Amino acid sequence: MSFDEATAKLGAFYDLVAALSREEAVAQLEKDPSVADAAVAFLTYYLTPLRYTVVDPAADYDRLFALAMALLPLLDAAHRRQALDEALINIADDTAFQFLRDAVRAAYPPRVIGGAIARYLRSDSPLHVYNALNLPYYLFGLGEPYRLDPELVAEIKGAAAALRARAKDLHPLVRDSLDRFVLA
- The pLDDT, as a whole number, for residue 79 is 94
The model's pLDDT over 62-92, given as tens digits with 9 standing for 90+, comes to 889 989 998 999 999 999 999 999 888 888 8
Question: Are 48 and 91 a contacting pair, CB within 8 Å?
Answer: yes
Q: How confident is the model at residue 18 (pLDDT cuts 50, 70, 90)?
A: confident
Angstrom distances, CA of residue 40 to CA of 10, 76, 145:
10, 11, 27
Determine the residue type at 34.
S
Euclidean distance between CA atoms 10 and 28, whole angstroms: 12
Quick: pLDDT tens for 99-119: 788 888 888 988 898 889 889
pTM: 0.81
> Which residue blocks in the chain are alpha helix, DSSP H?
3-17, 22-31, 34-47, 51-54, 62-71, 77-86, 97-107, 110-121, 126-140, 150-165, 172-180
pLDDT in tens, 125-170: 888 888 888 887 777 765 566 677 788 888 888 888 888 888 888 8
pLDDT of residue 76: 92
What lies within 8 Å, CB to CB, of 6 at 6+ separation is 37, 38, 39, 41, 42, 45
pLDDT at position 77: 92
